[in-house]
Amino acid sequence: MQVSFACTDHGLKAPRNGEHSKQNATSPNTTSHARARFRTVALIARSLGSFTHRYHHNLKESTAKQTGMKYRNLGKSGLRVSCLGLGTWVTFGGQISDEVAEQLMTIAYESGVNLFDTAEVYSTGKAEILLGNIIRKKCWRRSSLVITTKLYWGGKAETERGLNRKHIIEGLKSSLQRMQLEYVDVVFANRTDSNTPMEEIVRAMTHVINQGMAMYWGTSRWSAMEIMEAYSVARQFNLIPPVCEQAEYNFFQREKVETQLPELYHKIGVGVVSWSPLACGIITGKYENGIPESSRAAMKPYQWLREKIMSEDGRKQQAKLKELTHIAEKLGCTLPQLAIAWCLRNEGVSSVLIGSSNPVQLTENLGAIQVIPKITTGIASEVDHLLGNRPHSKKDFHH
C-alpha cells in the first residue's frame, strides 16, 4: 500500500496552516519530526489493506418522496445526511435578524435538510445560541437533526483556543450549553493546531465521543497529510478517527477536493462536507457591476473579499461567470443552482453547506437538487472547458 497521496501533495517540510514559525525547514529538529511523522503514516498505511475492504461496497443515495431531498452517508460512516446543509457563518447572529434565521431553518427543515452547521466562533457564540433557541422553539425531534459545530477559537484567553485537550473538552461543553443540547452529531477541529500533538487531539476527540458529547468528529481546512496522520494515530492507539473534512469547494476552488481528498475517501473513508459553493457570493453574479452596500463584501471584516472581487483575477472570474450563465439557461436553472449541483456531482462530497440571507435565496439554492441529473458528462466537460482550471486527477468524478 503506497502513501504517495499523503506525501507527494504536501511537502513534509511545509508548515501547517497558520503556523508562523520561522525555523529553517532543514534544521535537525524539523527534519527528525518530519521523518517521525512519515514513519507513522507509512507504518499504518502498510496495514491499511487488512481493513479497507469494508469501504468497497457502494453507499446508496436515497431521495425523500415528500421533499425530493437526497441523503448520503457522511463519508463512509453510517450517518445519513441531507446532501444540502444549512450553514450559519456570517448570517446567524450577525447579518440577519433572529426572525429571518428562524424562517430559514424552518424552510430548510421542511425541505428535508437535516444538517445544520455552526461554530463556537460564529458571531462570538451568538450563532450557536440562536440555533439552539430555534430548535427548542420549533420542538423538532433531536433524533431527526444532524447538528455540527467547530472548535478552535473559543475566547480571548490563551487557554480558550486551540485543539488542546482542555479547550476541546471545555469548548464543546460551552457550545452545548449555548445550543441547549446534550450532544452534537459531529464536532469539527476548525483548523490545525501546530502547538498541540496530534495524539492529544485524537485522544481528546475520542474522549468527548465516549462521554456522549458528540457522535463523530471531523476536520476542517486540514491537509490530506494531516488527516492521514490523525487517522494513523487513531489506528495505532485504538482511538476514533475522523469521518469527514470540511473543505471549500466551488468553480474557482477545486484542487483539494478533486485531487487530494478522493484518495482519503477511498482508502480510509473520509468524506467531504463542502462549504462556500458560491464562493462567498461571487458566483451569484451580484458583484458583476461592483459591490452592493448590503452584500457581505461591503462589511468591514470582509475587506479581503472586496479586494479579491476588484482584483484582476476577480474580473476574469466575472467574465467566466457570464459564460457559465449561458449553460445554466440551457439547463433551465439559475447560475447558483448550477454551481451547487456541480459540487454535488462529486462522489466524495457527502453534503454541501449553503448559507442564505433571505428565504427567496434559500429556496432557489435548495432547487439545485433538481439540477443534479442535468449535469451530464457533456455538460461537466463544457463547464471544465469554460473554467479552464480542472486539476489533474486520477479519477473522473462525473456521473
Residues with active-site annotation: 122
Beta bridge partners of 179: none
Q: Which three cell numbers stand for residue 351?
A: 453534503
Q: Name the strand (E) or helix (H) holding 326.
A: helix 312-331
Residue 177 has, within 13 A of its CA and on its CB side, a CA count of 7
Residue 206 cell numbers, joined: 475520542
Q: Smallest Cα–Cα separation from 76: which of 296, 272, 338?
A: 272
Q: Other CB atoms closer than 10 Å to residue 299's CB: what's the count?
A: 15
Query: Which residue type sits at 21?
Result: S
CA distance 381 to 368: 19
The dihedral of CA 19, 21, 23, 28: what is its sign?
A: negative
Looking at 269-366, list the stretches that DSSP marks H as alpha helix, in order from N- to C-terminal side.
303-310, 312-331, 335-344, 359-366
User: Residue 341 and residue 58: Cα distance in Å, rounded?
Assistant: 21
d(CA 196, CA 152): 12
28 by DSSP, 3-state: which? helix
**Nearest-angstrom CA–CA distance, 11 and 164:** 25
Whether the CA torsion 179, 184, 188, 193 is positive or negative: it is positive
Scored b (16 or more CB within 10 A) or e, 366-377 reads bbbbebbebbee
Query: Looking at this protein, which amino acid is placed at residue 97?
Result: S
Residue pair 389/355 in contact by the 8 Å Cβ criterion: no
Pull the grid cell for residue 51: 481493513
Helix 312-331 × helix 335-344 angle, to 10° = 90
Cell of 107: 424552510
For helices 126-138 and 98-110, angle between their N-to-C axes, nearest 10 degrees: 60
